[in-house]
Amino acid sequence: MSDKKIIYMDNNATTRIYEEVLEAMLPYFREQYFNPSSMYSPAGIIHKEMEKAREQIADFLGCEPIEVCFVSCGSEGDNMAIRGTIEAYPTKNHIITTKVEHPAVIETCRDLERHGYRVTYLSVDNDGNINIDELKNAVNENTAIVSIMYANNETGVIYPIKEIGQIVKNAGAVFHVDAVQAAGKLPLNMKDEPYIDMLTIAGHKIHAPKGIGALYIKNGTKLRSIQTGGHQERGRRAGTENVPYIIGLGKAVSMVKAELPKFIEHTSKLRDTLEAEILKRITDVKINGKNANRVSNTANISFKNIEGEAILLLLDGYGICTSSGSACSSGTLEPSPVLQAMGVPFEYAHSSTRFSLSLDNTMEEIMYTADAIEKIVSRLREISPYRN
């Protein structure tokens, strides 16, 4: 394998934009550049194309086109859902989320705490599963919104959204789901999810460009706009629509929906092989979330008494791109808050490495990566001050 070849195993951070997606976008940077809100006929044509993309996204989500609101990214969608809800229900000051959410939700909740809101952070067990009884005891008539992710970005653990949603709706609260890491990995159908009021997806996780996403807002859901200005998106989000990227997102979701069965089969085989090879070759290894229901492409692996940053740097030397968890949490030397919440021992949590796969990955790459990990761990344990 060439030293110059890049083996990309960080698809939960971002994905390669599909060539077909790029080709679909290009005309809207050049000859089809008109503002869709303008009154002249060329702009009207652009508006119709944008609405076709909305229909593609509605088909992907199993909802009505009118329920799709374009946003810039997952973080904006999460903020819009949470902040817009609490402004729509000014007499309620309680929010429920979990200790293992993406920073887009966690940091939003922490900010709201500083402004007088009360937030309950649900715990998880050692496999990363949410404590449902804790949710039942926490939700009440003062709860404005419950925001829980569909699948964890670090471990791939899938949460029981239908069960959670029923509990939330029985209490009269709004239910928001961050599905950024579920989109393209699990089937999403809002017609089968009657308890979900809002759901966020991000384009760059599903082979569309960075800078575009969507927030599903169920018809009848009360939501205040948190961005003032024009009338775009039915008054829910002011700002000229990012037409090329909306077209790209529409094309991407149609592709990943068609690929989903193949994606699940392919990435399951690769992930299971990688985990099995590492467990076979290396001692003192922990697969985080292994006993939970997980999305097929994600493996979060810890190696006892090794620094995760050293693993990532040495993997990079082999041309292998991975991460230690959420890209939005990089830059800190602290163990992952997700793994801490799961009770992963410190000597393991510090070395967590996330491998997130796509259809682009091959079995050859998996075996090459297993070889590299075996050599790296052996080398690091030889120089570790904690070695026996």
Q: What is the DSSP letter of 152?
A: -
Q: Cβ(24)–Cβ(207) under 8 Å?
A: no
CA-closest candidate to residue 196, choices 213, 209, 212, 215? 215
What is the C-alpha separation between 251 and 218, in angstroms, rounded? 23
Q: Cβ(125)–Cβ(112) under 8 Å?
A: no
Catalytic residue among 63, 69, 321, 328: 328
Cα R_g (the chain), whole angstroms? 22
What are the start-end ranges of the H helices in the chain?
19-25, 41-61, 74-88, 103-114, 132-138, 161-170, 243-281, 308-317, 337-341, 346-349, 363-383
CA-closest candidate to residue 223, choices 234, 212, 211? 234
The residue whose two tokens read 């990688």 is 274
What is the C-alpha separation between 261 and 186, in angstroms, rounded? 9
Concerning whether 328 is annotated as a catalytic residue, the answer is: yes
What residues act catalytically? 328
